[in-house]
Chains A and B, each alone.
Chain A
Amino acid sequence: MAVKVMIPTPLRTYAGKQESVDLQAGTVGEALSALTTKFVELKKHLYSDDGRLRSFVNVYVNDEDIRYLQKDQTRVKEGDTISIVPSIAGGTPPEEHSHRN
């Protein structure tokens, strides 16, 4: 199936500066695998060292979060749009906190 993968701004540098990439895939997992095979530099930003999608990487098929579908086994059909949407997180580890009165 021909699907379109939307690339978020911070990752476009690693995807030929493209906003979207057209790929052939039957599932979300296949699409992301094809994407990271084509653009190898994307892999470390999407996946952690243990090969799992990073927790702050969110993937949608059309407007549905794949966590509420079949995750990377979610099937895609011709013309579907897969979007990679960041969530942003951070903070201070407790040990870095100075003493609070």
Chain B
Amino acid sequence: MRRIHAHGVETYPHECCGALLGRDGDSAREVTDLLPLANRRDDSPHNRFEVTPDDVRLAEKTAREKRVELLGWYHSHPDAPARPSEYDRDHAWPWYSYIIVSVQKGEPRDTTSWRLQDDRAAYDPESIETLAHSAGAE
């Protein structure tokens, strides 16, 4: 989690983004590595992020090389709550986990994780647990 927070602080007041790599278990997902990516929304980076298809392919390739799965994505909400916006929902893919960190005045605050429902109507929250050996704890 520290690495996600650090990325959000580094890019503040712009949004950061990156890929979540790890293992998809029956009852939980374990994020074992992160791939920080550049926010490609040069026109409005303070309240939008974009990961291009080329970067998605890079994330998929990185996951294959590490023998793990591309589980989802993280991004920051500078000076805004860590909850998915309508814009997030409208642009979300199912199955992926979406971690959002709120960065208030340059400091990381709440962190949440969400997954889009099958009918695209809303997100389901996912609980987050930081493990001693996980990528986020590095």
Binding site for B on A (CB under 8 A): 8-14, 41, 44-45, 55-56, 58, 65, 85-94, 96-101
Q: Report yes or no: B120 in contact with A44, Cβ–Cβ below 8 A.
A: yes
Binding site for A on B (CB under 8 A): 13, 15, 17, 41, 44, 47-53, 56-57, 60, 69-70, 73, 75, 77-81, 84-88, 91-96, 98, 104-105, 118-120
Q: Report yes or no: B49 in contact with A97, Cβ–Cβ below 8 A.
A: no
User: Nearest chain B CB to A45's CB is how many angstroms away?
Assistant: 6
Q: Report yes or no: A89 in contact with B94, Cβ–Cβ below 8 A.
A: no
Q: Report yes or no: B95 in contact with A88, Cβ–Cβ below 8 A.
A: no
Q: Report yes or no: B79 in contact with A90, Cβ–Cβ below 8 A.
A: no
A60 (CB) vs chain B CBs: closest residue: B53
Point out which of A58, A91, A98 has the most chain B C-beta atoms below 10 A from its C-beta: A91
